Structures are given as structure tokens and as C-alpha cells.
Amino acid sequence: MREEPTMSQYIRLAKVQDVRARGALECEWEGRIVALFADGDRIWAMDGMCPHQGGPLAEGERRGRVVTCPWHGWQFDLETGRCLTGRAVQQPVYPVRIEGEDVLVLVG
């Protein structure tokens, strides 16, 4: 039986090597799309659907800690979730923890 997360539980979403190999990875948990992004030792997690029209952010171009939606070019800061293309939008970002080879994300 699957446990429901609490505020202190992290969900295993991927293997570190899978995220690093691709640079970005789209994961699904309980109907929620989460985009994981890797840069060196750092992995970020963000809501994976662009708020504009649902573009897949994990498929977007990433430069540093900025990801660009592949559909219409909206840009988001991976650290803060702030939209950088002049829109008053805050994309949800999630805390990430690495345990061994697992990427754990607090999505609750």
C-alpha cells in the first residue's frame, strides 16, 4: 500500500543518473507532472506544466538556472519559480533531496 506524503515526507521520483544523463526529466506522481533539472551536482524540481498553455517544461531549453518553455518561450527561474518574461506568475518549485542514487522531491 502506498503511503500518502506528509509535510516531512519526500517522494522518490527518479534516479540521479537518469536526470543527469538527460539534463531534464519529466516525472508523474499522483497525476502531477514534475520536471527535474540537473546541472552538475545540483538537481531542481518544478511543476512540469507551463502555466501559459501547459507546455512540457522538461522539454524546454535550460541555460544555467533558467528554463524556457518549448511552446511559447515563457522563462522560469528554477530556484525561485519566478517567471522571467514579464509576467506576474510564480511556478511552483519543490525541495529536492538526494539519497544514494534516488532523487526525492517534496511535492505535498
Mean predicted confidence (pLDDT) in 64-81: 96
The full set of domain ranges for the chain reads 11-105
**pTM for the complete prediction?**
0.89
Q: Does the pLDDT of residue 100 top 90, yes or no?
A: yes
| 33 Cβ contact list (under 8 Å, min separation 6) | 26, 27, 47, 48, 49, 56
Assigned fold of 11-105: Rieske Iron-sulfur Protein (2.102.10)
| 65 Cβ contact list (under 8 Å, min separation 6) | 39, 44, 77, 78, 79
Residue pair 62/23 in contact (Cβ under 8 Å)? The answer is yes
